[in-house]
Structure 1
Amino acid sequence: MPGRDLDTVGRPITVADVLALPVLAAGQPQVVTGAARLDRPVRWVHITELTDPASFLKGGELVLTTGMPLPDEPAGVRRYVDELADIGAAALVIELVRRYHRPPDALAHACQARGLPLITLARDVNFLEVTQVVHALILGSQADAMRRTQRVHEAFTALTLRGAGPEDVVRAAAEMSGHTVVLENLVHQALICQPSGDTVEAALADWEQRSRATPSADHTTVLGPESWLAAPVEYQGERWGRVAMLPTPPGPAAPSASGPFGPEDVTVLERTAMALTIARLTHSDPWERTAHRSVLRDLVEQRHRSPADADARVTALGVPTKGSRFLAVLVDVPHEDDRTKAEELLSEDLRKRGSQALVGLLGPTRLGILLSLRPEQPWRPVVEHLSRTALDLLPGTSVSTGSEATDLTGVAHSFRDATRVAEATEPDQPLPPGRSYHERSDIGLRRLLFALREDTRIQDYAERRLGRLADHDARHGTDLLTTLRHYLDAAGNKTVAARSGGLSRETVYQRLRTIERILDCDLESGEQRTELHVALTALDVLRVR
C-alpha cells in the first residue's frame, strides 16, 4: 500500500490514516478482515507480546504484534480476539516475519466474526518508530482540535455580544462546520436554512415529513434515518424548536455520505443552540416572523438562487406552493410605531381564517403579504376582509394589491404591481365604491401622475405649460388657473365653465383670451386642451403634501 500525505484536519486519525503513513506503508500492509471498518478512530498505538493485551487497553488502540504470543489452539486465538474486540481495540496489526508467513486461519476467522480489522505486514517494521510518529500526530491533532474548539467558542461569544440574530447564528454555524444547518420550530417548519455544499431545495425537500421521522432528544445527538446531528433550543424547560446539522450528501467531493459527526461539529451545534437561545431572549421578534420577513424580502428582490430553492423555502414554512396561485398585497400603515402591531394582528387574523400567507415588514411603514390561494379560490373576498381588518385596526391604513401570479417566479412582478398602485395612491385617497383596497384598475391619469410626481420631467412639463399663467396670477392677484380648470373640466363648453365659476359668459370669454395670449395657445384645439389638462393635473398632484 503506497504512502500518501496525511490530512486529518478537523477529524480524528483513523486506521486507514495510520496504514497510509510511510513508516507503516513500508511494511506492505494488507487488510485481511474489517476493510469496511478502517474509518475507526485511533486513540493510541500499543505494542504487545502478551497473551492477554486487553487488560492493558482502554479502547481505540491500534495493537501491534509480531504474533509470537498467539496461542496455538483455535480456542485460545478466539479468546485473544474476543478480549480485543470487547475492549474496543481499533485494529490488530500482525507482522508476518518471525513466527508466521501467512495469517493463521483461526485468527482471520475470529477477527472476521468480531468485525475487528486485521492487517498483516509482509516486511519488518520498526514498531517503536510507528508509535512515535502516530502518537505525535494524535497529540498534534488533539492540540489542533483544542485550538479549533477555542475559536468556535470565541466566535459564538462574539456573535452573542454583538446581539446577532438567529440568521447570523445559523450562518456562522454552517460556515464553521461546512454542513447545512437548519433551525425549525415545534411544528417542524424550517425557519432558517443555511446550505453548505448543496442547494436549499435539496436541504428542505419534504422537510416536515423528514423532520417528523427524526425523533427529538434532550441533548445534542445523531438522530433519525438521515443521521441528523440535532440539538434542542430551549430555556428553563421551555422548548422553542431545534437546530439540525445535516450530513454531507454524496458527491464527487464526498463519495459517500459522511458518517458520525466529529467532536468539533458537536461543539459548533451546542454553541449554536446556546446562541439561538440568547438571541430568542434578547430579540422581541418571534422566529416565525423573522423567517417570514426574510423569505418575503428574498422573493420581492429575487435573491433566491433558483425557483426550486424559493419553492422549498416557502413550502418549509408551511405555505403551500404546488397548484397554488399567489397575490401580493401591500399594507401601508399611518405611523412607523404601528407596523409591528399590524404585522402581528394581520398574521393572526389570516391564520384564524385559514388563509395561507407570508407576512413581513418591507419598509418603515409598509407590510408585505403574499397570499397563497387555491386554484378555485377568489382573491377579492380575502383581500376585502384583510383590508377591513387593517382599517378597523388602524384608520388611515392603505391597502394595495398586485396582479395574480401562477407560481413563485411571478411573485416579484406582483409586488411591483402592488407597489405601483401604492405609489399612485394619494394620502386620504377615497376608496373605490364597494371595496376597501386599491388595485391596478384604479390608476387613472391623476394617480399615474401622482406616482410619477418626483420625476423631474413631469415637473418640467407642468412648469413649461402652465408656469407663465401661475406667475401671472401671483403677480396680478388674478385666478386664471381656476378659470382654465373650469373650462377644461367642461370639455370646452364656455357656458358650463361660466356657471361653474359663478361668472358671466363675457367675463369667461375675456379671461380665456387672456389665457391664450399668456400661454400662446389655441383653446379651440382639442390636442392643446388635452395637453393643458394633463399639465394642470400634474400641477395639482405636485402640490399634494
Structure 2
Amino acid sequence: MSDNDGTSRPPDTGALDSPTTGRPPTVADVLALPVLAAGQPQVVTGVTHLDRPVRWVHITELTDPASFLKGGELVLTTGMPLPEDAAGVRRYVDELADIGAAALVIELVRRYHRPPDPLVHACRARDLPLITLAKDVNFLEVTQVVHALILGSQADAMRRTQRIHEAFTALTLRGAGPKDVVRAAAEMSGHTLVLENLVHQALICEPSASTLEEALTGWEQRSRKTPSRDHTEVCGPEGWLVAPVEYQGERWGRVTMLPAPSGASVSEASTTFGPEDVTVLERTAMALTIARLIHSTPWERTAHRSALRDLAEQRHRSPEDARARCAALGLPTEGSDFVALLVDVRSENARAEPEIRLSQELRTAGIPALVGQLAPGRLGILLALRSSQPWRPTVERLSDTALGLVPGAVVSVGSEVTDLADTARSFREAARVAEAAVPGEPLPEGRSFYELSDIGLRRLLYALREDTRVQDYAERQLGRLLDHDTRHGTDLLTTLRHYLDVAGNKTTAARRGNLSRETVYQRLRTIERLLACDLESGEQRTELHVAVTALDVLRAADSS
C-alpha cells in the first residue's frame, strides 16, 4: 500500500462512463479499473462470485474489520493484521463472510509474497472472493476512484428512476389503457411482462427478447406454482418478479416480470432484477389500477377482443404464438374444432349487453370460447368444441339469444376448422356470409343464422352491390328498358321479371301479372326490340336474369 504523500496523481475516473453506469459496480468491474489492474490482481478463490456488487471500499489493518462494515464492501489490506494461527484466520474470514463483504483484496508486497494456505482454505470454504495483488497499489486512490464510480452510478440510478416515474405519470395523465401500460413497462425494463387475472389467465403479454410461445406456453400451470405476495417480490420456481394489482384491499390480478434467461432459478433471478426493475413493476401495477378505475371495459373482455382481432386478421407472429396466447386465455387449442361466428347488430351505437350475455351463456353451457367486439356493431365469437361435438345446436342457441336481445341482428357462421391457425378463414367466410344477408329477407327455414350454403345469386349480388362493375352491368343490360318505362309510364320491367322467374313460360308469366297472353306477347316483343335481344336464347335470358336480380338488390340496399 503506497503512502498518500500528497503528490500522487489524481484519481482515474475513466471508468465512470463505463457500462456499469446505472448499477453498483461489481467485484469484476473494480478489478478491471486501471488503478487496480496495475497491481496485477489474481483471483485465488470465489471466481464464480465476482458479480457481487461493491457498495463501498474499506481499507483496514485491524484484526476485527467486520465490526466496521455493513456489507458489500471491498476490503483492502496488506495482510499485516492477519492472525498467525489457522483458527484466527478462519475467524477473521468468517466475520467478513457473515457481514456480507464483497471480496478480500490482499497485497503481497510486505508481509506475504504468496497467500497463506489457511487464508485460502478459509475463503474457499465461505465462497469469499480472495484477490491478491503482486505489485504495490495506492489504496487511497482505489477508494477515491471506486467511490466516485459508486456515487456516479447512484446518481444515474436516481435519474433513471425519475425518468421511470415521469414516464408512468405521463401514461396515467393521458388515460393509457392496460395494454399501453404493459407495453411501456416491457420497453423500459427489457423484460417480458404479463398481466393475469385471479384465475391465472394471461390477459396481456408483451414479450421482450422472446416470443409469445416462449413466454406463455403452459402459463396457468407455471403461474399456479408461483405464489402471490402482498408486495413486489421474486418468487416461484422460475424466479418471476411479481406485483399485485389491487385497490382498497380488492385484488384484481397481478403483473409479472419474467427473467431474461428462460428457466432461471430464484437465486439467479434475484440478481437478474435490479432496483429499477422493481420500480418499473410497482409503477406498472399502480398505473394498471388507475387504468382499471378510469376504463369501464373489464380486462378479460379487452383481452378477448384483442385475441379475436389478431386471429381474424392473422396478426400473430406465428401459429405457435397464437396457440400459446389463446391457451393462456383458457381456450383449449389441442384436440378441438373451431367455428367462427359474427353477430352484426348493424348499429355503431350498439350496447355491450349482447357481448356480456353471450359470454355468460357460453360459460353456463361449459363451452370454451372467445367473445369480443371486432368492430363497431360487429361481435365476434370463436367456439372451441370437442371433435365429436356438433356445432349447430350451440350456434342456434347463441343466435336465438342474440336475436332476442337485438331483433334484426344478423348471425353468420364460417366453416368448422380443426386447426387454430385456420380460424382466420372461418372468420372470413362468416364475414362474406354476413355481407350477403339482404335486409328484410326471411331467415333460412328452420334456422336463425346464415352460413355459406345460403349465398345464392341474389345474396352474392347483394354482397357485391358496391362494386361499380355490377352497377354498370345492370345499367347496360336494362337501362333502355328503364328509360322507356319512365318516359311512357309502362311497367315492362315487371313483365320481364315474371317471364324470367318462370324460365320463359309465357302462360305462367301472364297469370302472375294478371295479363292476357296476347298482352304478354306484345310486351315481350317490345322488350326484345328495346334491348336488342332474343328472349328465346337461354344465355341471354340468364344475362337478363342476373341484371334484374342485381337491380333488385341495389334498390333494396338503397332503401335499407
Q: TM-score range by the shorter chain?
A: over 0.9
Tell me the residue number matched to 1:289.
301
The reply to whether residue 139 of structure 1 matches residue 154 of structure 2 is no
What SS does the aligned partner of 2:271 have?
Answer: coil
Distance 2:360 2:131 in 1: 65
Number of aligned residue pairs: 539
Offset of residue 182 of structure 1: 0.4
Tell me the residue number matched to 1:219.
231
Distance 1:339 1:442 in 2: 28
Name which of 378, 395, 398 aligns with 2:410. Answer: 398
- Which region of structure 1 is more displaced relative to structure 2, 434-443 or 404-413? 404-413
* 1:395 partner letter: P
The reply to whether residue 209 of structure 1 matches residue 221 of structure 2 is yes
Aligned ranges for residues 110-509 of structure 1 at < 5 Å? 110-249=122-261, 259-509=271-521
Distance 1:239 1:109 in 2: 51
Distance 1:282 1:500 in 2: 63
What SS does the aligned partner of 1:336 have?
Answer: coil
Distance 1:503 1:201 in 2: 71
* 1:505 partner letter: R
Distance 1:457 1:246 in 2: 55
What SS does the aligned partner of 1:404 have?
Answer: coil
Tell me the residue number matched to 1:515.
527
Distance 1:6 1:158 in 2: 30
Q: Report if aligned partners of 2:43, 2:131 keep a CA contact under 8 Å in 1.
A: yes
What is the TM-score of this pair, normalised by structure 2?
A: 0.94
1:113-153 superposed Cα distances (whole Å, 9 cap, x missing partner): 22221111111111112111111111111111011100000
The reply to whether residue 108 of structure 1 matches residue 120 of structure 2 is yes
- Which region of structure 1 is more displaced relative to structure 2, 130-139 or 167-176? 130-139
Offset of residue 483 of structure 1: 0.7
1:35-72 superposed Cα distances (whole Å, 9 cap, x missing partner): 22111111011111111212221111101111011111
Distance 1:365 1:388 in 2: 18
Q: Report if aligned partners of 1:248, 1:258 keep a CA contact under 8 Å in 2.
A: no
The reply to whether residue 74 of structure 1 matches residue 103 of structure 2 is no
- Which region of structure 1 is more displaced relative to structure 2, 75-84 or 165-174? 75-84
* 2:259 partner letter: P
* 1:154 partner letter: E
What SS does the aligned partner of 2:111 have?
Answer: coil
Tell me the residue number matched to 1:34.
46
1:176-228 superposed Cα distances (whole Å, 9 cap, x missing partner): 00000000000000000000001110000110111001111000010011100
Distance 2:155 2:310 in 1: 42
Q: 1:315 to 1:9 in 2, by over 3 A?
A: farther
- Which region of structure 1 is more displaced relative to structure 2, 406-415 or 439-448? 406-415
Distance 2:309 2:169 in 1: 29
- Which region of structure 1 is more displaced relative to structure 2, 31-40 or 416-425? 31-40
* 1:297 partner letter: R
* 1:442 partner letter: D
What SS does the aligned partner of 2:227 have?
Answer: coil
**Structure 2: 5+ residue runs without aligned partners?**
1-13
Offset of residue 16 of structure 1: 1.2
The reply to whether residue 98 of structure 1 matches residue 110 of structure 2 is yes
Offset of residue 382 of structure 1: 0.9
1:270-322 superposed Cα distances (whole Å, 9 cap, x missing partner): 00000000001111011000000111111111111110000000000000001
Q: Report if aligned partners of 1:47, 1:65 keep a CA contact under 8 Å in 2.
A: yes
Identity %: 80
* 2:228 partner letter: S
Offset of residue 11 of structure 1: 3.0
Q: Report if aligned partners of 1:10, 1:262 keep a CA contact under 8 Å in 2.
A: no
1:242-264 superposed Cα distances (whole Å, 9 cap, x missing partner): 0000000269xxxx878341000
Distance 1:409 1:9 in 2: 45
* 2:30 partner letter: V
Tell me the residue number matched to 1:15.
27
Distance 1:149 1:540 in 2: 67
1:365-421 superposed Cα distances (whole Å, 9 cap, x missing partner): 000111111111111111011111111122111100001111111111111000000
What SS does the aligned partner of 1:302 have?
Answer: coil
**Structure 1: 5+ residue runs without aligned partners?**
none
What SS does the aligned partner of 2:550 have?
Answer: helix
What is the TM-score of this pair, normalised by structure 1?
A: 0.97
Q: Report if aligned partners of 2:21, 2:152 keep a CA contact under 8 Å in 1.
A: no
Q: Report if aligned partners of 1:183, 1:241 keep a CA contact under 8 Å in 2.
A: yes
What SS does the aligned partner of 1:403 have?
Answer: coil
* 1:126 partner letter: N
The reply to whether residue 56 of structure 1 matches residue 68 of structure 2 is yes
Offset of residue 336 of structure 1: 3.2
Q: Report if aligned partners of 2:69, 2:99 keep a CA contact under 8 Å in 1.
A: yes
- Which region of structure 1 is more displaced relative to structure 2, 468-477 or 79-88? 79-88
Distance 2:131 2:262 in 1: 28
